[in-house]
């Protein structure tokens, strides 16, 4: 069964996460187990250009 990661709660808050990161160097994301914190935050940051080319 394939999971549509873009429907996970954390990914749905992508714009809010990036908005807060523009104003703060460090943020804390609190969300229930299974909401996509571990899998989606790195993707969100990479897509927004927060990573090197790798």
**Tens digit of each residue's pLDDT (9 = 90 or more) over 32-45:** 999 999 999 999 99
As a whole number of angstroms, the distance between CA 52 and CA 54 comes to 5
Q: Which two tokens stand for residue 38?
A: 């571990």
| Whether 27 contacts 20, CB under 8 Å | yes
Q: Is the pLDDT of residue 53 over 90?
A: no
Q: So what's the pLDDT on residue 54?
A: 58
- Considering just the CA atoms, what is the radius of gyration of the chain in Å? 11
**Tens digit of each residue's pLDDT (9 = 90 or more) over 2-27:** 678 888 999 999 999 999 999 999 99
Of 53 and 8, the structure prediction assigns the larger pLDDT to 8
Report field, pTM of the whole predicted structure over 0.85: no
């Amino acid at each position: 069964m394939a999971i549509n990661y873009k429907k996970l709660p954390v990914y749905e808050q992508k714009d809010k996460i990036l908005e807060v990161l523009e104003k703060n160097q460090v943020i804390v994301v609190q969300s229930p187990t299974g909401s996509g914190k571990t899998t989606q935050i790195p993707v969100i940051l990479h897509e927004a250009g927060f990573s090197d080319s790798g």
